[in-house]
Each structure stands twice: as C-alpha cells, then as structure tokens.
Chains A and B, each alone.
Chain A
Amino acid sequence: MGPSRIREDTRQLRAARPTVTGNGVVSAAAYGKPSRVRAARWRDAGLGYALSLPALLWILTITLYPIVYNLWLSVHETGPLLQAPTFAGLRHYSAILKEAEFWKSLERTVIWTVGSLSATLLPGLGLALLLNQDFPGARLIRTWILLPWMFPIVVVAMIWVWLLEPTVGVANYALRIAGLTSQPVVFLSVDWAMVTVILTNAWRWIPFVAVNVLAALMNVPRELEDAAKVDGAGYWQRFRFVALPEILPAIGVLSLVLLMWFFNMFPLIWLITRGGPADATTILPVAIYKTGFELFLWGPSAALGVILFLFVAAMTGVYLTIIARYRIGAGGQW
C-alpha cells in the first residue's frame, strides 16, 4: 500500500475525529437560547482572565523589574558594591560591540545552543521511540530513566569531572585497559571542552526529553495506528503519518523551552570548566557572570545581559513564527 494512500486514510480519520476548534468554544447547542450563549461567553472570558492572570502578573512583576533594572544599570558606571552610579550613556555597549572577545562569545553561545539542542532532542526522541516498545527491562527503564535528571547539577558536574579526569579518572582508566589509548585523554582540553560540556548537558536532558515525548507517544490514538496497520504501513510509515503529527506539539513546546534554557544556561558549564580552558567554553552567560561577579564591572555585565536578552528574544520570536506557520498544534490551535 503506497504512502500516499496511507497519508490519505489517516488524514480522513483525523478529520473525522473531533478536534478542538480555534477557540474551544462549546457549541451553542449546549446552551440553547442565544442570550444564554452570550452570557456564557462573558462568563468564560471572565473566568479565563481570573484563572490566567495570577500566574502572568506574578511572573511579569518579577521579570519586568529586573529588565528595567538591568537596562538602567547598563547605562551607568558603579563601584564594586553597586554604589555611586554615574551615567555612562551607551559607552558600555559600544565598548562591548567593538571587542573581538564578545563576538567570539556570541559565536560560542550559538555553537553551544545548536549543539546541545541536536544532542538532546534527536537522541531524546529516539530514546522515547525505543522505550515505547515492549522488551525485557523496558518498564524498568521507562520508570527510572529520569533518575539522572533528578540529581543536583553540582553533583552531576563533580561526578563527570572526576570520571573524565586525565590521570585518575575512570574513563581514561577504562580506555587504557581496553587498549584503545596509551596517552591520557584530556576531555576538557582547549579543543574538546565544548564537545564534552555539550555531551554532559545532553546526558542530563535526554531522559527529560524522552519522558515527555513518551507521554505524548502513549497518547496516540490506537485506532489510527490500527487503521494504518490495516493499510499495510510499516513501522516508519506509521511513525511518520500517525505518531509524529501527534507528538509534534510536545516536541514543539520542548524545543522552544530548551532553546531558551540552553541559550541562557550557566551552572553546568561554570561548574565543569568555569568557562575555560582559555575561554573555550565561555558562552555569553558565563561572560556575564564573570564580568559582574568576579570583575565587579556591573555596568558592562548588565549591558551584556541586555544584549543576550535581545538575542534570545529575537531567536525565540523567529522560532515561534516557524512553529506557528507549520501549525504544530492539535488541529492547528497553538
């Protein structure tokens, strides 16, 4: 049975399935008279605001002040204890943008983000597909795979630093007795540090991605799967036409949130390398921390922060429009 036929069938079935309309509005039939419909709509709106505004207001108040504060700080010069602020105009911004180090940090941040996203999303998806099967141990892994993600970052960083230590670390020891290397492998050298931190970060987040996608996978309607099987679809075809559209919303949310988190991520890299060696892993958040909390240059640090914020906002905006355009959402609603 050809792919086009399978696609057609599943599309028909999906269309037959009641999906949420753009507004989730309950049909008038439920209410009867038009006036009652209007009243119901007003009640809905009121309730909608009442339920969603607390979260929004709390989050906005707590984030608006820092934005304003950092904007203010970025155009001032202060002492190490934030005392004696003097207006500095856009001096910090121009100094930063002229510095080669800044552009290198930005480049590293992009490499880090893209690298981390690929190293996390793709294997995470694969792991979810794997765990969706039935095989000995599947249930056990399904339940406990989140365990590594639950460890405090400090501990994760310490364990990995120790495992990868060139002289007394287990990784090197294992490589040596397996006969694969004779020289100690320095995982955190200037050339390899970025790769190592990307992989360590992926180690932490792959289970999280996998579990989220798995939850969505298990929600895939059985009869769609069965219909596709009847049509003669193989595993990958079933995945493409049945499962994938169902899990795209979950993947969409995950990738959006991870994009923002990774771009802004600070603790893991800081704990493993402090941005080193030789600034090989100094991404923008690390630079912001160093400038503020180690050099006590609060104005420039805030300016870097504003620049980073604008960058992330822009990228997120672009990403959102891409997602929205492809209507990744149950029935087109997002």
Chain B
Amino acid sequence: MKLDERAIKLGPTRREFLKAAATSAVGLGLLRLGWGSGAHGAPVGPRDLVLWHWETPPHRVTAYDRLLERFRQETGIVIRQVPIAFPEYHTKILTAAPARTLPDLIFVNPPQFMLLLSNDLAVPLDDMFAELHGKVRFFSPYRDYEFQGKQWGVPLFGVSWPLTYRRDLHLAAGFVGAPATWGDLLSRAEKMHGPDLPGFTLPISTKGNYGNQVVWGFLRTNGARIVVGAPGKEKVVFNSRETIETYKFLVELARFTGPGAETADWASTELLVRTGRVQTLIYTGSPIGDIADKNPDLARRYAQAPVPRPSREHKHANTGYARAAMITRDAQRRGTVAAAKEWLRWITQPENNAEFLLANPGLFMPVNHEVVKAKIWLGHPFNREYKPIVHALTEAMKHISVQGFEDGARSPKAAAIEGSFMTARVLQRIVLEKEPVEQAVAWGHREYEKILGS
C-alpha cells in the first residue's frame, strides 16, 4: 500500500492554526478567570457572617437577600446566605465540622439540631431566648429545641402538614365541612373515589420524605411512637397496638388512592394539586400559594383542616417542623456570636419575622403569637384572601410532631430515623408486597433498632 506522504507533512493549515490559537486564547482567558475567583472560606471580621439554609428555590433566595440587605443597612452587619439543597445539607455539615468551617448561623429542623448538639457544635441561647419568648411568646413546639434545661435554637418559621381538600367537590358529594375522624375520612374517600379523581391521595412511596410525612401524621393522631426516652437511652417502641391500628386504617385508605402512589413525592403531588387532580390529601399550603395568582379559580376551591383523628377524643397531631436558627461553636471561635444574636433579635421582631415568612406565602407559617398580629402578615394579599387556610396552617403549627422528638423524646439519631422513611417503607411492604400488618410493623421495629444501633 502506498503511504500517503501528505500525512507526514500534515501539520495544521493556517486556518486551523488560527482557530486553534483563538480557542486556546479564550480558554486561557477563562482559566485565568477561574484561577483567581476562589472565594474565601471563612468570613472576615466579627461583623461578616455566613448563614446556611436549605430554602433553595430562587424566589426564596431573593426574598432573603432583600431582608439581609435591609439588616445590613440598619446595623452594618453583613450576613451571606448559602442555600444548600437539603439532601446535601448533612454532607456539608459532616465535612465542615472537623474542618471548623461551619457557618455562624445555621437553620435546622429538630433532627439536625440534635446532630449539632450531640457533637457539641452549638452555642446555648438561654438568656436571649428568655428575652425573646417574653416578647413574642413562641408556640409550644419551641421545646423541641430545649435540651438539658437549656434552649439552643430560636424558632423562626414553620411548615405544617394538615389536611387539604376540595371543598366544592366534597359539597357536591354531599359532605359539608372537613372530615374530622378516620371513619369520616374513609367513608368519604370511598364515596368520592372515581376513575379520574382518587378518594384520598395517599402516597405509598419512599421517594423522598413525603410518604413518610403523611404516614407519620396519621400515626401521631393515634398516639403511636417510634422511640421513647432520654438521649442515648432511647428505646424503640414502634411495634405497638397504636401503630398496628394505624396501619390497618391506612391499608383501607390505600384502596382509594390514585395511580403513581408508589412513586409520589413532593413535586409530583404538587403537580396534581395545581392541576386539580386531587380531592383530599395531606399537604402544606404551598401549592395553593403558587396558583393563587395564576389560577385563582382553582385555588379558592381548596380548604384546609386538621388531620382526621381516630376519634374526637384523640388529641390533634400532624407532621410539621418549626425551623430554628442556631449559632455554632465556630461562630464562638470567630467572635461573631454577638452579631449573630443581634440578627436573631432583629428577625424575631414581628414585622421582620412576617416579611421573612412571606418569602413563600402559603408555605411558611408563624411560630409565635405576635407575628400573627403583624401588619405585614395580615395585610399580605394571599393571607387576606386565604385567611381560613392560613389559620388552619397556623393552628397546625401548634400540634406539630417530628420523628424522634415525640412526647418529649430526644433522639440523637433523629436525623437517621426520619431519613430512613421507614414508616412509608412499612406501608409499602403491607400494600405493595402484601405482607401482613403485624409482620411488617415488627420488621419496621427491627429496622429502627438497627438504625439506633441497639
């Protein structure tokens, strides 16, 4: 075969050379950009703070920017927010803790609170909390942030998961008001169940926390618990009469759920709410808030009520979280505690707190008695027009319950307990894998024990 001599003399033609040169020039320029633009890890000076949170959707970030900017103008203290997607929150804490690069302020739910606390990564806030509590009177779930007699977190905003339902569709089926008991819920679901609209949109899913949150709400209305006891000495009590009763009820309810229940998560469920494909379900006010101005006709048909209980004698309960701000030990090391406390005082002032809550109308709810009276809170268009919904959501904030914190328990492994989605997994075993209730609950009990390391 004749060799192609051209191949040897083949170097870049002039055109190719120029193209390559141009590309390299651009590339080098970008490289130069990249090389220098590393931001510093820790803030400088005691009036430059970092705040971590997981409210990542852009509109919330923008709302926070405005608030933090106003704070800066009033006090000269700079707070830089770092939105971190929730799944990565723990990993960031994990990697920052030994490196002492935790932020000064950090938003937490009770499980993360236990995590930071049990590793001595937080600063107690007693004196300041007493002062604030006197001024705004926090809802009782603030005690979730109490430990060994001290208060470690200041609740700032909350999310509650009450019953959401289409008032008009219930009326059309002959039902007035909201279902109050399990029996009510079941009979309504049965009557209203149809090929296009499920009687009750029950998730049987471990894709995300949603399934877990719904089952937990029902478990709590029956007084069922996962753990009991002081931290370090908790015992798993999942396998109980109350738990089994609840799952037996849920199996019945599952007959009236829609297709896709086994992969339901927040996103898919919100899609259904916003497109009017649900009649009754457990959810926050968030999707209603979203369609309030884009589809007000549909938004107005929704109502909210407490989660149905086994009987009217049972106490109200529902899933919910009072998000609190904590100050970390790294802040102490950097000397930013005073500045952080100043921010906490500022943000709990009713008007500021209200604006903070309105970063996402319909979703974030008050966690103290004063902010409900704030002018900004009452005057906001959504709150004005959807008063009953906001009222239901706020009331639900008084009955919230978090896994690992029920009835005074304080589990350092709360984050893992909730993160395992075990309550939903047990439901899956019963409904999807056809396992008998008692057996599945016993299995769940053993899994929880594994998580607790016992």
A–B direct touch, CB within 8 Å, in complex?
Answer: yes
Residues of A within 8 A of B (CB): 16-18, 77, 79-83, 161-162, 165-168, 183-184, 186, 188-190, 193, 223, 273-278, 293-297
Shortest C-beta distance, B119 to chain A (Å), equals 5
- Is B207 in contact with A165, judged by CB distance below 8 angstroms? no
CB within 8 Å for A274 and B207 given contacts A161-B268, A190-B432: yes
- Nearest CB in chain B to that of A298: its residue: B94
- Is B258 in contact with A167, judged by CB distance below 8 angstroms? yes
List 14 A-B pairs, Cβ < 8 Å.
A77-B453, A80-B413, A80-B415, A82-B98, A166-B259, A186-B260, A193-B263, A276-B205, A276-B262, A278-B262, A293-B87, A293-B91, A295-B451, A297-B416
The 8 closest A-B pairs by CB, nearest first: A277-B262, A294-B419, A166-B259, A166-B260, A274-B207, A184-B259, A188-B263, A278-B428
- Is B416 in contact with A18, judged by CB distance below 8 angstroms? no
Residues of B within 8 A of A (CB): 1, 87, 90-91, 93-94, 97-98, 115, 118-119, 204-208, 258-260, 262-263, 265, 267-268, 271-272, 275, 277, 412-413, 415-416, 419-421, 425, 428-429, 432-433, 450-451, 453
A167 to chain B: which residues have CB within 8 Å?
A: 258-260, 272, 277
Shortest C-beta distance, A166 to chain B (Å), equals 4
Shortest C-beta distance, B81 to chain A (Å), equals 22
Known: A276-B205, A278-B429, A296-B415. 20 other contacts (CB 8 A): A16-B1, A79-B119, A80-B94, A81-B115, A162-B271, A166-B258, A167-B258, A168-B271, A168-B272, A168-B277, A190-B262, A190-B432, A193-B263, A276-B207, A277-B207, A278-B425, A278-B432, A294-B421, A295-B419, A297-B416
- Is A274 in contact with B258, judged by CB distance below 8 angstroms? no
A275 to chain B: which residues have CB within 8 Å?
A: 206
- Nearest CB in chain A to that of B420: its residue: A295
Q: Which of A166, A183, A223 has the most CB of B within 10 A?
A: A166
* Cβ-defined partner of B416 (8 Å) among A80, A166, A276: A80
Shortest C-beta distance, B417 to chain A (Å), equals 9
Main secondary structure of the interface of A (DSSP, over half): loop
A190 to chain B: which residues have CB within 8 Å?
A: 262, 432-433
B451 to chain A: which residues have CB within 8 Å?
A: 295, 297
> What is the CA–CA distance of A263 and B61 in the complex, to the nearest angstrom?
38
> What is the CA–CA distance of A278 and B262 in the complex, to the nearest angstrom?
8
- Nearest CB in chain A to that of B114: its residue: A80
- Nearest CB in chain A to that of B97: its residue: A81
- Is A81 in contact with B258, judged by CB distance below 8 angstroms? no
> What is the CA–CA distance of A190 and B206 in the complex, to the nearest angstrom?
12
> What is the CA–CA distance of A166 and B205 in the complex, to the nearest angstrom?
15
- Nearest CB in chain A to that of B262: its residue: A277
- Is B90 in contact with A293, judged by CB distance below 8 angstroms? yes
B267 to chain A: which residues have CB within 8 Å?
A: 161
Shortest C-beta distance, B267 to chain A (Å), equals 8
Shortest C-beta distance, B98 to chain A (Å), equals 8
- Is B206 in contact with A277, judged by CB distance below 8 angstroms? yes
A161 to chain B: which residues have CB within 8 Å?
A: 267-268
CB within 8 Å for A273 and B259 given contacts A278-B433, A295-B451: no
